[in-house]
Structures are given as structure tokens and as C-alpha cells.
Amino acid sequence: MMSLRICLLATCLLVAAHASKDASNDRLKPTKWLTATELENVPSLNDITWERLENQPLEQGAKVIEKIYHVGQIKHDLTPSFVPSPSNVPVWIIKSNGQKVECKLNNYVETAKAQPGFGEDEVTIVLTGLPKTSPAQQKAMRRLIQAYVQKYNLQQLQKNAQEQQQQLKSSDYDYTSSEEAADQWKSAKAASGDLIIIDLGSTLTNFKRYAMLDVLNTGAMIGQTLIDLTNKGVPQEIIHLIGQGISAHVAGAAGNKYTAQTGHKLRRITGLDPAKVLSKRPQILGGLSRGDADFVDAIHTSTFAMGT
């Protein structure tokens, strides 16, 4: 009798599990959350262009990408397959005067180390995540460079202020309150460092490439260059990696690669408007996470995860 009860119980459990699986699969059908008309109107990756997205309201563009993402996850037809060649990824090393030294991802480590004083102070590496196809994107990058040049030029500005104050002190001159404040400012702690722009966004020439970007392997490629940097004497404690949009997740993968190979973590990784990763491998977690560096932060200016 006991064995019969066990058999009946096992049968019931199997039936329940099968029914639950069927119900789960049924819930995953696109028709359960999108109408037939909406499914027909979901554009293909080839139909979406950067110009089209830029000319749409942000919320409208986000809804289109959201539909593509969910349909792709259900059908599993969005696979990460694009990894740019290192020789095709532009890199700029920004000098303290704002001048750029151009190179590529496959040789920027050697070029950077050839610059006088490189790696003696903070090294900030920025990964772009969108092509510079719009004036707004170009303006944002210019402002970022200007901000870092101003920050890293503080030491020279303080030196100039100190020389000016010495000249004033040597003459018969009455100080104003603003000049006294400047005299205090010149003794403030100066920040200096190096800025590197890895223009990954320039390789995402169309939306399909963007959607099919292999975040994990691209991040591993970037991470290897960080390993090369530290092997050439740049401590990981002074490296700050910043990723914009989809490149925020590339930065996370780069941090993972660095830790896996060296046993150490980068000091800091920052995500600027991290975008939704459209193509993923099943059963594999990816994207920027808190364990990718000693300190991980993200700055969001929009709730739509568009990477803008």
C-alpha cells in the first residue's frame, strides 16, 4: 500500500511539473504580452539606424528597443557575435595641454608608456559606447576632455598663481579679498594624472553591431590591455575605468578579466548611463556588477537604459 501511495504521489508531481513547465513556456510566448499587430511592427535590427533613434523622442526609442530585446530573449536569435579588431579601435592619449596622441587599442600601452611621466599619478581610461554621429555626442566628449584637462592642469595653474602672488608681494600693493583667496587656493592639493579615450563606440557603426556586441569577449580584450599596463609598471590602484552606455558593461567584463588573471582588482570602475545589453548568452550572467572592482559606481541621467 505504501509503495502504491509513493507511486501515485510521484505521478502527481510529474504531472504538476509538466503542467508548470507548459504554463511557463506558454507565458514566454510573445503573443502573451504583445498583440499580433505589435509583433508585426517590431522592426528588425537592419531597419533601425542611429539617425532614426536620434530623431525619435527618447521614450519612444526606448520602447522599440525594449520590444526587440524581449523578443530576442524569447526566440534566442540575438547572439553576441561582434568583437572589434584591436587594430580598428581608435585610442587617444590626452596630454595636459589638451593635445591628443592618436594610436590604436593594439599599441596604446607602448605609446602611453612612452609619454613622459605617464603612470606616475591617476590614470583614467574612458570607453565610449556610442558613435560620434551627432553634435550632442561630440559636445559631450569635448566637455569630458576639457574637464579632465582642467583637473590635471591644476598643478600648473597653481604654479602660475604662486608666481603672480610673489610678484605682487614684492611690490607695494594692497591685497583684495579675492586675491587673498587666490593666495590660499594656490596651496591646495593639486590633482594630476593621465587621460586615455578608448573609442569603442566608433566601431559600432550601425545599430546591428551595437545590438550584437559581444560584451564579455570585448571586455576581455580591453582587460588584457590593462594587464599589459600594470605589467609595465602602472599600479592597478591608480587606474579608474569609465564606461559609457553599453561600454559600462564592457568595463565590467574588463575588470573581471583583470581580476581573473592577476588576482587583484582595479581601484574603480564607473558606468555612465549603463545601457541594456541586447544580446546575451543563455545561462551566463554578464554586465557591470559591484564585484568588478574595489569600488563600482553608476551614474544614471535617464531611466530608459538607452546609454544616452
Residues 50-99: tens digit of each pLDDT: 788 888 787 877 888 887 777 766 666 678 999 999 999 999 999 877 88
pLDDT of 41 over the 70 cut: no
- Which residues make up the CATH 3.40.50.1820 domain(s) of the chain? 86-159+191-299
Residues 199-213: tens digit of each pLDDT: 999 999 999 999 999
Side by side, the strands of the sheet bearing 100-104 are 100-104, 90-94, 193-198, 122-127, 239-244, 268-272, 295-299
> Among the listed ranges 18-22, 124-128, 275-279, 293-297, which one has the minimum average pLDDT value?
18-22
Q: What is the pLDDT of residue 181?
A: 46
CA–chain centroid gap for 116, Å, is 28
- Reported in sequence order, the residue ranges of 86-151 that DSSP labels E, i.e. its strands, are 90-94, 100-104, 122-127
pLDDT of 185 over the 70 cut: no
> Among the listed ranges 38-47, 167-176, 204-213, 263-272, which one has the minimum average pLDDT value?
167-176
Greater pLDDT, 79 or 231: 231
Q: Is 231 left (phi over 0), alpha (psi -120 to 50) or beta?
A: alpha
Half-sphere exposure of 296 (CA within 13 A, CB side): 19
> CATH top-level class for 86-159+191-299?
alpha beta
pTM equals 0.76
Classify strands 193-198 and 90-94 as parallel, antiparallel or unpaired.
antiparallel
What's the whole-number average pLDDT of the chain?
A: 79
Q: What is the pLDDT of residue 37?
A: 66
